[in-house]
Structure formats: structure tokens, C-alpha cells
């Protein structure tokens, strides 16, 4: 499975998107870069949050698989300056994770959630600390006016862990399901041993 | 089902105990309790209303299993010191509330729910904006005649079935709560519990019909907003959902149609009891009109007729249980008991301990917003009674209630219009403003619709849609 890299760039988003589009086309269009703005990323440490607050709009994160990341870094180094773009850091994405929880009140929806969240996960993605519970209360069956309580409750809580593309897919999949709450994507990255090249 | 815990029966038992033990002349108050009761005697009333509002949000499982004990606690917290301090006059007030208000109220609610629960709409509808809007209109019109709860129970499942394939459905359920579970119930005493309580206290049966202008304005604007929102979401649906359906459709049909006859019987009985004066009798010292007793007996007959003539399968598919009637019986036993001191104090006007509250609300517009604001978070039936008493205490202090209400209608009609519309309309503002709201939310969630949270409902729907409409109502009718 391809390694992914996080590339931090200073400059305008429009210029960066233009440069990235050119790299994707040159790469044959087989792979795509993911922009950090398009993901719900956890803000991270306090310095990172402050940087995001005060430098909002001037710093951008992009994520790409190894071969495409190499082309983007090369393009930034060779013609980034004339587009007003500056390469800041390149880090390897070691692991991604996204916590989630869900609560449903019918067996149909519970089964649908189970199919989408527990079975058929993308390659390399695992469910960590998954807890599934079902509770039934026959006394709550039927319409209630002042004491609403569901006769059936299905709950699941856990974290998806794995490679970045698989976790992005799970975050997108969970967001499209009813009754699911998804938290921000958390990334574990490390600096490159040779930061000169991806 | 196990035998009920003794505490669960304490709230209605408090009433029964007084019926069995008090002397016949106990209902003749010797003192004006409203002018001597302390302000803190309203605390059990506040307590039970807050319990009904907050427990379902904060601890729904505890509340579901222990609401009778909580209701009993507040009932006894009022009844014991009240009777101990004031003796026979206090017992008389409790008896009067039980016989003149509580029993007829429970009989009507129970009858409407039993009859409505025997009507089942079957068939395959397609949740297009036209179909959804049509269902909303039907429900809004029906609500005044079969009750907001009855109309909601009748139509929510067909509406959910029609929208089963749609991705964006939550807005439809929210507007259903607005229109069918609240606004639609404005025009008759059967429509919403506050209006029936007003009727029991002397508001003429047809008086709510005079609110047709306010209701038409609010209903049309809310419906227009819904049409726009649903059209927007319809365009976002998958093309396969929007494509005309080619599969055979199950024809629309109504099972248990004969129950509409029973509903008509209820309507006629309530109406006749408002215009026919057959004399009075004394029940444990409480004067009760004969026509009211006959009405209540007739209503029970209608309920029994519906129960015996409706197929069990129809009720099972409606998920009909006695649960809601039990809830209303137990909780409103507590509400009707604990509301006695605040009503007495408010009606005493400047001479009562709640005089500052009476003075604070002083115009129809203020009554509309204060009644509505409180009704948004506390059940709208006792809220209506509270502010009706506030208005009577302000404008006709010391005048007997029935006479004061008739004078209110003829001399200061805008106040009652404001109180009634505030209580009925603004029950839609939150999930806890009116009884059917939470029920509809719960049914929708079990059908797979993710409903907004408590604050999400207010932020995304009440504030942008309802509040501007209510501001317009204030300007048009109450300024």
C-alpha cells in the first residue's frame, strides 16, 4: 500500500490548487491530492491551533500518495515561487484515525449501520475499541406523549484506524449515514529522514 | 405486566382519598385562599412542570419508569401541607379541581386517543412536495376536530412511509410538528388541551373559532415556508427518488373509518354540553352541571364503542397502547393538584402573593409572548390556565371565574386571543412545548429519520421560521 505524505505550503489556495491540478494531469490523472480544507482535521496542539487562527488562509495542507507527492514537491521547488507558493514541510503520514459513535432506534437502521461501519471496511482499516450494545425495553413499545423512550436502542462506539485513504473513505461513509456522529480526523505523522525529497 | 408500585398510584389516589373521606360541605371555602396563600405554595406546580420538561431530556429512562413516583412526590408536597394548613377550604378546592376539571379532561383526552387510535391509513404514497404538502394541509385542518394528538397519530406514519426513500426527511417531520401537532389545533376546544381547559372554565365552545384569522395567517405562512424548504430538499434528492414511480402502488384506504362517527359524537356531545343547561347537582359538595356529567358519560360510551368495534389488528398496527392515557392521567393528576395555589393567587390579583406577576404582564402582546414563551418549555395546558388566571386577576379581580371570563371576552377580548394563540402556537417552539411533539419525534426516529437535537430544532427551525411569523402576528393582531 502506498505511503502518503502531508505537505505544508504557504501561499494562496487558488495558486496551490492550480499547481496541484497540473501535477495530477502530468501524473496521468490516476491519483488525486486531498486538500486539508476538504477534510475535517483535528486542530492538534495549542501552537498548531494558534497558527491556524492567526495564519488562516495563508497555510495549506495537502495529502498525496508517494509518487504524486514527489511531483508536487518538485513542482513547488521549481516553480512555486513565481506562483507565490512556498514549500514549508513534508511529513510522512504514519496512521490516521477517526472516532465515531452511533445510536439507532430500529433494527433496520441498526443492521444498515453494522453493514457500513463494522463489515466491509476498506483495505487496511480496522475498528479499534469497538463496542456494540443493544437494549430492549418492551414497556416502551408504542406511542408515548410525556415519557418518550425507545423500545429498542442500538449503540456503537469506536475508532477507525488505518491508512489515510481508507480513513478518509470511512469518515465520508459515516457522515452520509443517519444517527452517526463522526469526530475530526486525527493524523499521526513523522518528519522525513531526508527532508530534501519526498 | 406486574402490579403497579403503590407510589405510582399516589397522585390520582390523592384525589380519590379526598373524595372518599371529606364531608359533603367541604367544598364551601370559608376564606379567600388566594389572598392568604404564600408565594412558595406555587413551588410544587413549578416542580412538576420542570420535571415534565427536563427529565425526558436529561434522564429519559429514569423518567419513563418512575414518572408516577415523581408526580406523586409533587402532588403530596402540595396536598399534605395545603390540607393541613387550610383544612376544609383546601379540600374543597382539591375536590372542585378533581370533579370539574381533572375528570372531564382525562375522559376527553382518553376518548379522543382511543377513537383516533382505531383509524389507520394504508397505501403507498410518494413523498413528493405536492403529496407532503397535501398531508400537511389535511392534518392541519383535522387537528382542530380530532385533536392535535389524534391527527398526529393518524398521519405521521403514512407521511413517514411516503418519504421512506427520501434522504432529506427531518424537515418534513419538524414542519409536521409545527402544523399538525400544534398550530392546527386552534379552532375548537377539542383541538388542543389548553382550549378544552378554557371551555371547562367557561369559555364558550365556539369562541376558539374566532381565532381563525390568526390561525390562517400562521398556518399559511408556515405552510409556504415548508413548501419552499421541501422543494429545495427535493431537488437535492437522488434522481431515482425524484423519477416517477413505475412499480404498482398500494391504493390509499382508511381502516376503521367508522371511528369518524364516534369522533362526530364526541364533537356534538362537547358542543351540546356548552349550550344546554339541564340543571346542577352536588357531588361531594362540588356543584356540577348535569349536562357535563351526561357529556362525560357519553364520551365514555363513544370510547367503549370504538374499542369494541375496531379490529385489534388496526390498533396493533397503530402501536396503540394504554400508555399515553396512563401518562396523562398520572401526570395531570399532579398538575391539577399543584396548580390550585398559583391559580388562586393569580385570580386574587393585587391581593395575592403573586401580585408582581399579575402586574408584570399588562398588554395583549405581552400576554402572547409570555404565555407562548412559557408554553414553549412547559406544557401548554397548565400554562394557558395560569395566564388566563393572571389576566382575570389583573382585569377582574375578585369576580367569580365564569363571569370574569365572559367579561374578558366581551370587554377585553384581545387578552384571551393572545393567551390562547400564544399557548397553542408556541407549543411548537420546542420538543417539550406540547405533548405530541416528543411522540412524533420518537416515531420518526424509530422509522429511521435522524431528527435534530433539542437545541438544533430551535436554532434551525423555530428561530428562522416560527419566530418571525409570531412577530408578524403580534404586529397584525396584538399591537
Q: pLDDT of B374-429, one tens digit each? A: 999 999 999 999 999 999 999 998 899 999 999 999 999 999 999 999 999 999 99
Chain A: give the shortest CA distance to residue B323, in Å.
Answer: 7
Is B149 close to A145, i.e. CB distance below 8 A?
A: yes
B228 vs B251, more confident: B228
pLDDT surpassing 90 at residue B6:
no
d(CA B385, CA B370) in angstroms, rounded, equals 13
pLDDT value at position B307?
A: 96
Q: What is the pLDDT of residue A46?
A: 63
pLDDT band at B1 (very low <50, low <70, confident <90, very high): very low
Cell readout for B322 is 394504554
**Is pLDDT at A142 greater than 60 in this prediction?**
yes
Better pLDDT: B308 or A147: B308
Q: What are the pLDDT digits (tens) for A39-50?
A: 888 876 666 666
Q: How many Å apart are CA A40 and CA A32, to the nearest integer?
A: 18
Residues of chain A with pLDDT > 70, as a percent, come to 89
* pLDDT of res. B326: 92
Between positions 430 and 459 of B, the ones with CB within 8 A of A are 435-436, 438-439, 441-443, 445-450
Q: Is the ipTM of this complex over 0.85?
A: no
- pLDDT grade, residue A198 (50/70/90)? very low
pLDDT-based confidence at residue B22 (cuts at 50, 70, 90): very low
Of the CA atoms within 13 Å of residue B141, those in its CB half-sphere come to 5
Q: Do the Cβ atoms of B61 and A139 come within 8 Å?
A: no
Q: Read off the C-alpha cell for B419.
A: 393567551
Quick one: average pLDDT of A63-70?
93
Q: How confident is residue B2, by pLDDT bands cut at 50, 70 and 90?
A: very low
Long-range CB pairs of B242-249, under 8 A, 24+ apart, other chains included: B242/B128, B245/B126, B249/B123, B249/B124
Tell me if chain A has a CB within 8 Å of the CB of B81.
Answer: no
Determine how β-strand A180-182 pairs with β-strand A126-136.
unpaired
Alpha-carbon span B129 to A116, nearest angstrom = 30
Q: How would residue B8 be classed by pLDDT, with cut points 50, 70 and 90? A: low
C-alpha grid cell, residue B21: 373521606
Q: Report the residue of A108, A140, A145 to disrupt the B interface, i.e. the one with the largest count of B CBs within 10 Å.
A: A145
Which of A190-194, B14-18, B206-210, B356-360 is the least confident region?
Answer: B14-18
Average pLDDT, chain B: 91
What's this model's pTM, rounded to 2 decimal places? 0.88
Q: Which residues 131-160 of chain B have a CB within 8 Å of chain A?
A: 149, 153
Distances (CA, A) of B345 to A50, B34, B39, B97, B235: 57, 4, 8, 15, 55
Of residues B232, B219, B216, the one with CA closest to residue B136: B219
Note the Cα B459 to chain centre separation in Å. 24
Q: Write down the pLDDT at residue B26.
A: 45
**Which of B61, B441, B448 has the CB atom closest to A149's CB atom?**
B61
Average pLDDT over residues A148-167: 94
Burial class (CB in 10 A: 0-12, 13-18, 19+), A83: middle
- Binary contact (A142, B323; C-beta < 8 A): yes
Query: Per-residue pLDDT tens for A87-141?
Result: 999 999 999 999 999 999 999 999 999 999 999 899 999 999 999 999 999 888 8
CB contacts of B445 in chain A (<8 Å) are: 105, 150
Cβ of B60 and A108 within 8 Å? no
Amino acid at each position: 500500500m502506498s505511503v502518503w505524505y502531508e505537505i505544508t505550503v504557504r501561499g494562496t489556495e487558488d495558486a496551490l490548487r492550480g499547481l496541484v491540478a497540473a501535477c495530477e494531469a502530468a501524473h496521468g490523472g490516476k491519483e488525486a491530492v486531498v486538500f486539508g480544507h476538504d477534510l475535517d482535521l483535528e486542530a492538534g496542539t495549542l501552537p498548531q491551533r494558534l497558527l491556524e487562527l492567526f495564519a488562516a488562509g495563508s497555510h495549506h495542507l495537502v495529502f498525496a500518495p508517494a509518487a504524486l507527492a514527489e511531483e508536487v514537491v518538485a513542482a513547488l521547488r521549481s516553480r512555486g515561487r513565481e506562483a507565490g507558493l512556498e514549500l514549508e514541510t513534508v511529513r510522512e503520514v504514519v496512521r490516521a484515525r477517526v472516532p465515531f459513535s452511533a445510536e439507532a432506534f430500529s433494527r433496520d437502521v441498526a443492521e444498515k449501520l453494522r453493514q457500513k461501519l463494522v463489515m466491509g471496511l476498506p483495505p487496511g482499516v480496522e475498528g479499534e475499541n469497538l463496542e456494540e450494545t443493544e437494549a430492549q425495553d418492551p414497556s416502551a413499545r408504542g406511542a408515548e406523549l410525556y415519557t418518550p423512550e425507545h423500545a429498542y436502542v442500538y449503540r456503537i462506539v469506536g475508532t477507525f484506524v488505518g491508512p489515510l485513504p481508507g480513513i478518509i473513505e470511512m469518515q465520508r461513509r459515516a457522515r452520509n449515514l443517519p444517527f452517526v456522529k463522526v469526530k475530526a480526523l486525527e493524523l499521526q505523522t513523522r518528519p522525513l529522514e531526508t527532508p530534501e525529497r519526498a | 405486566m406486574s402490579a403497579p408500585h403503590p407510589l405510582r398510584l399516589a397522585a390520582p389516589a390523592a384525589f380519590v382519598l379526598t373524595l372518599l373521606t371529606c364531608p359533603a360541605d367541604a367544598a364551601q371555602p370559608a376564606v379567600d385562599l388566594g389572598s392568604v396563600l404564600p408565594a412558595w405554595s406555587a413551588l410544587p406546580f413549578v416542580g412538576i412542570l420542570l420535571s415534565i420538561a427536563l427529565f425526558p431530556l436529561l434522564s429519559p429512562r429514569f423518567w419513563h419508569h418512575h414518572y408516577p413516583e415523581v408526580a406523586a412526590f409533587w402532588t403530596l408536597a402540595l396536598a399534605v401541607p395545603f390540607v393541613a394548613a387550610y383544612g376544609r377550604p383546601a379540600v374543597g378546592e382539591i375536590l372542585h379541581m378533581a370533579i370539574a376539571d381533572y375528570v372531564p379532561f382525562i375522559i376527553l383526552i382518553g376518548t379522543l386517543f382511543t377513537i383516533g387510535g382505531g383509524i389507520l391509513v394504508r397505501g403507498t404514497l410518494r413523498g413528493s412536495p405536492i403529496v407532503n404538502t397535501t398531508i400537511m394541509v389535511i392534518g392541519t385542518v383535522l387537528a382542530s376536530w380530532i385533536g392535535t394528538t389524534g391527527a398526529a397519530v393518524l398521519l405521521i406514519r403514512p407521511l413517514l412511509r411516503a418519504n421512506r426513500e427520501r434522504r432529506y426527511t427531518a424537515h418534513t417531520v419538524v414542519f409536521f410538528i409545527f402544523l399538525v401537532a400544534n398550530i392546527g389545533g386552534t379552532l375548537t376546544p377539542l383541538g388542543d388541551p389548553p382550549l378544552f381547559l378554557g371551555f371547562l372554565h367557561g369559555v364558550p365552545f365556539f369562541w376558539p373559532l374566532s381565532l381563525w384569522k390568526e390561525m390562517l395567517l400562521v398556518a399559511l405562512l408556515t405552510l409556504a415556508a415548508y413548501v419552499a424548504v421541501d422543494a429545495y430538499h427535493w431537488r437535492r434528492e437522488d434522481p431515482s427518488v425524484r423519477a416517477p414511480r413505475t412499480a404498482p402502488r398500494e391504493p390509499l384506504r382508511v381502516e376503521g373509518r367508522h371511528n369518524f362517527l364516534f369522533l362526530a359524537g364526541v364533537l356534538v356531545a362537547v358542543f351540546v354540553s356548552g349550550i344546554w343547561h339541564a340543571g346542577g347537582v352536588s357531588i361531594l359538595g362540588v356543584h356540577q352541571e348535569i349536562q357535563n356529567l351526561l357529556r362525560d358519560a357519553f364520551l365514555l360510551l363513544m370510547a367503549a364503542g370504538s374499542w369494541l368495534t375496531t379490529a385489534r389488528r388496526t390498533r396493533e398496527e397503530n402501536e396503540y397502547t394504554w400508555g399515553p392515557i396512563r401518562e396523562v392521567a398520572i401526570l395531570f393528576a399532579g398538575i391539577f393538584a399543584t396548580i390550585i395555589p398559583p391559580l388562586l393567587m393569580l385570580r386574587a390579583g393585587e391581593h395575592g402573593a403573586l401580585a408582581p406577576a399579575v402586574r408584570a404582564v399588562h398588554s395583549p402582546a405581552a400576554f402572547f409572548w409570555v404565555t407562548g414563551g412559557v408554553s414553549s418549555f412547559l406544557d401548554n395546558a397548565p400554562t394557558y390556565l395560569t395566564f388566563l388566571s393572571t389576566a382575570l386577576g389583573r382585569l377582574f379581580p375578585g369576580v367569580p371565574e365564569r363571569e370574569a371570563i365572559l367579561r374578558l371576552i366581551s370587554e377585553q377580548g384581545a387578552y384571551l386571543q393572545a393567551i390562547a394563540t400564544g399557548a397553542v402556537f408556541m407549543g411548537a417552539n420546542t420538543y417539550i412545548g406540547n405533548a405530541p411533539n416528543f411522540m412524533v419525534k420518537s416515531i420518526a426516529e424509530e422509522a429511521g429519520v435522524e431528527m435534530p437535537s433539542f437545541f438544533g430544532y430551535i436554532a434551525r427551525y423555530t428561530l428562522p421560521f416560527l419566530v418571525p411569523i409570531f412577530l408578524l402576528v403580534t404586529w397584525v393582531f396584538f399591537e
